[in-house]
Structure 1
Amino acid sequence: MAEKLTWDEIKKQYPDEFVVLVDTQVDEATDVLTGTLVNHGKSKQEMRKYLGQLNPKRGACLWTGQPRGLLSPIRPVDPR
């Protein structure tokens, strides 16, 4: 069985990849603190499918890199 790793260890070992974790521990904000890595790769779809097939009690598919293109500035609409 794979060893449980911290989120920082996982990000360092698998940069810019999607990781599938099971037996996760989270904090009050539901951020992952630790988990057992069972798969990793560049394809989000493949990793989510893998996680779905496992159907663990506690698991996650997460991106280890920096978020890109998720937020855009919101400007108020001029009512004129």
Structure 2
Amino acid sequence: MPVSFEFISLTRGGITLSGFVSGADLNRIESGQECLVVMHDVTRDGAPLGRLVGLFRGGELTTQVPVWGAVRA
């Protein structure tokens, strides 16, 4: 079964990140669960960053490690 991706955009500390997460990850974020999420095709204020990992808690991106750690393929 193909995975569907959902667009997500968030601003933290004056920096806007936009990218795509799986539908299941988006559901976990929106439900407030603590979850580690891989964001794909991320841009920071228009500059491409690739894939990033973010830790979400209570529907918000946290500042705890590994929030800005790059994921290597």
Larger Rg: 1
**Larger fraction in strand:** 2
**TM-score normalised by structure 1 residue count:** 0.27
**Larger fraction in helix:** 1
**TM-score normalised by structure 2 residue count:** 0.28
